[in-house]
């Protein structure tokens, strides 16, 4: 199998169409299973009571907000280096979901912060850098929106993504580097400080977020392909058929 | 043997870009003054807005002066490349055999000399208005000396990306302010450190590290952005 085969919009369009249902169904099933474990199986935390259950949304969303940014930077770098059209489209398709997860991470964090810290928001290093990540997503989306020329927009967005990528390690390590209010990571390579059921719930929710992200990104990329290849015969054939 | 053949021609190119921008700025003093007055005015609005108690002003002073400096730098950055773009000279400079990185570096450096250095001259006076001690003002100066080149270097990326776009100025602000945040935190943090008695050295070292990082990365990204925008 040749990977370059799928770098062409035609083949990728059809491949994405086949993959979307699989990822969408997996996302749905994982969400159901993850939510069941989160609410009915995972025990009450001895310190934080029931309020800790927000982490089943909060932690996967925060992970995804950073991962998606790095993947966008990866696709941007690939696109700039090899001049592949599909990689820029992937970056564009991922950005709204990344911004959404950043927003969810901040919002659920505020809901958790009010009962735990007594404040909706504190200006600690991790919260601030996550907020900056949201600004970066918004800036990149705004830059794309402002540039009508597709080729220029793709490249400009990729360059901005790359220079902003420095922020991601800062977010990730901020709780280690600075002594902040936000707690450190609960999952470490050496083992975790969590109950098994809690860990399972969180990981299943993380998988659900991954599958959801892949499904919507593929869905969006199909739209982008149709928009950009609208002059091509095969797109006209598809549009006339549907 | 001495230096490789290319280096002296590259130095000449850098100096030529620098001299050109400085001459242009010297012939348009009005533009130059607007940015400096903007800095003074933004900083002066805060005591009017939050009230004149000296303790509070000393508390918020470093942050306010740093925020005002970033905004003043953004105000002038929107035109870093656009004037040359409009009269066509920018394309010629990019097409010249010298590397575009040098062009961007020269223009960032010129921007810093024209708009960054005067902020250093004004900041002590504003510091006195904010009831800062002499020691705090000295650290503020030093943090601005390290920090304002960062603003010019990173700002060049934004100016290159938004070249010739509708509403480019506002977009530039949206793109670049998040990237300015580390400079703002460490710059204002250094002065706060002196006031609080914990010392400024840690913040100033981080600010210096951020300056080196920006110097290594920003001109290359800005040069690539410039080529993308001119395509």
Could you state, in order of their start, the residue ranges of all structural domains in chain A?
20-41+53-184+191-241
Residues of A in contact with B166 (CB under 8 A): 146
**Is-contact B157 B217, C-beta < 8 A?**
no
Q: Quick one: average pLDDT of B35-49?
A: 90
pTM, entire model? 0.87
Give the minimum alpha-carbon distance from A119 to chain B in angstroms, rounded to a whole number: 22
Q: CA torsion sign, B44 to B48 to B49 to B55?
A: positive
Asked if A167 and B178 come within 8 Å (Cβ–Cβ), the reply is yes
Q: Which residues have a Cβ under 8 Å from the Cβ of A146 and sit 6 or more positions away?
A: B162, B165, B166, B167, B168, B171
Chain A hits for B174, Cβ within 8 Å: 135, 138-139, 142
pLDDT of A181: 65
**pLDDT confidence of A60, banded at 50, 70, 90?**
very high
| A75 class by beta-carbon count within 10 Å (0-12 exposed, 13-18 middle, 19+ buried) | buried
* pLDDT recorded at residue B2: 47
Residue B4 has a pLDDT of 53
* A68 or A4: which leads in pLDDT: A68
Closest CA to A87 of A10, A165, A3, A7: A7
Q: What is the pLDDT of residue A191?
A: 58
Nearest by CB to residue B165, choosing from A147, A163, A170, is A147
**In the beta sheet, which residues pair with residue A188?**
A191
Are A187 and A179 a contacting pair, CB within 8 Å? no
CB contact under 8 A, B178 and A156: no
- Are residues B178 and A139, on separate chains, in Cβ contact within 8 Å? yes
Q: Going by C-beta distance under 8 Å and a sequence separation of 6 or more, which residues neighbour residue A209?
A: A27, A60, A61, A63, A64, A101
Per-residue pLDDT tens over the stretch A119-178: 788 777 778 888 989 999 999 999 999 998 888 999 999 999 999 888 777 777 766 666
Residue A1 scores a pLDDT above 70:
no
Compare CB distances from B175 to A139, A162, A167 and report the shortest one's residue: A139
Q: For chain A, say whether B173 makes contact (Cβ under 8 Å).
A: no
Report pLDDT digits (tens) over A165-211.
887 777 777 666 665 667 766 665 555 666 777 888 889 999 999 99
Give A138's contacts in chain B (Cβ within 8 Å).
Answer: 174
Nearest CA in chain B to A130: B178
């Amino acid at each position: 199998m040749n990977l370059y085969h799928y770098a062409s919009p035609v083949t990728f369009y059809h491949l994405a169409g086949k993959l979307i249902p699989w990822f969408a169904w997996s996302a749905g099933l994982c969400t159901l299973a993850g939510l069941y474990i989160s609410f009915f199986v995972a025990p009450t935390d001895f310190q934080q009571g029931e309020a800790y259950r927000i982490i089943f949304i909060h932690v996967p969303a925060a992970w995804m907000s950073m991962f998606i940014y790095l993947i966008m930077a990866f696709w941007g770098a690939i696109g700039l280096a090899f001049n592949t059209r599909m990689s820029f489209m992937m970056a564009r398709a991922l950005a709204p979901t990344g911004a959404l997860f950043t927003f969810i991470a901040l919002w659920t964090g505020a809901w958790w912060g009010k009962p735990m810290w007594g404040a909706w928001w504190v200006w600690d290093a991790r919260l601030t850098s996550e907020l900056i990540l949201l600004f970066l997503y918004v800036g990149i989306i705004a830059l794309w929106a402002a540039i009508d020329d597709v080729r220029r927009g793709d490249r400009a967005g990729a360059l901005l993504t790359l220079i902003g990528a420095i922020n991601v390690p800062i977010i990730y390590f901020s709780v280690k580097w600075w002594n902040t209010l936000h707690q450190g990571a609960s999952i470490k390579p050496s083992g975790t400080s969590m109950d098994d059921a809690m860990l399972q719930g969180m990981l299943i929710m993380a998988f659900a977020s991954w599958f959801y992200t892949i499904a919507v990104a593929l869905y969006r990329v199909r739209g982008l392909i149709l928009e950009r290849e609208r002059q091509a015969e095969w797109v006209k054939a598809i549009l006339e058929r549907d | 043997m001495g230096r490789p053949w290319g280096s002296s021609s590259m130095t000449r190119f850098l100096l030529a870009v620098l001299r050109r921008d400085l001459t242009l700025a010297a012939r348009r003093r009005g533009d130059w003054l607007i940015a400096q007055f903007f800095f003074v005015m933004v900083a002066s609005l805060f005591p009017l807005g939050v009230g004149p108690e000296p303790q509070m002003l000393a508390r918020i002073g470093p942050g306010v002066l740093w925020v005002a400096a970033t905004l003043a730098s953004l105000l002038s950055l929107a035109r870093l490349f656009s004037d040359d773009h409009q009269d066509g000279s920018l394309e010629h400079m990019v097409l010249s055999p010298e590397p575009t990185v040098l062009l961007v570096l020269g223009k960032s450096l010129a921007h810093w000399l024209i708009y960054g250095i005067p902020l250093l001259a004004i900041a002590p006076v504003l510091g006195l208005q904010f009831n800062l001690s002499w020691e705090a003002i000295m650290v503020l100066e030093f943090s601005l000396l390290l920090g304002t080149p960062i603003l010019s270097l990173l700002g060049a990326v934004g100016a290159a990306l938004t070249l010739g776009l509708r509403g480019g100025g506002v977009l530039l602000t949206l793109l670049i302010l998040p990237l300015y945040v580390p400079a703002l935190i460490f710059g204002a943090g250094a002065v706060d450190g002196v006031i609080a008695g914990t010392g400024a050295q840690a913040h100033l070292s981080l600010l210096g590290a951020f300056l080196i990082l920006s110097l290594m990365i920003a001109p290359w990204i800005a040069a690539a952005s410039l080529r993308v925008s001119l395509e």
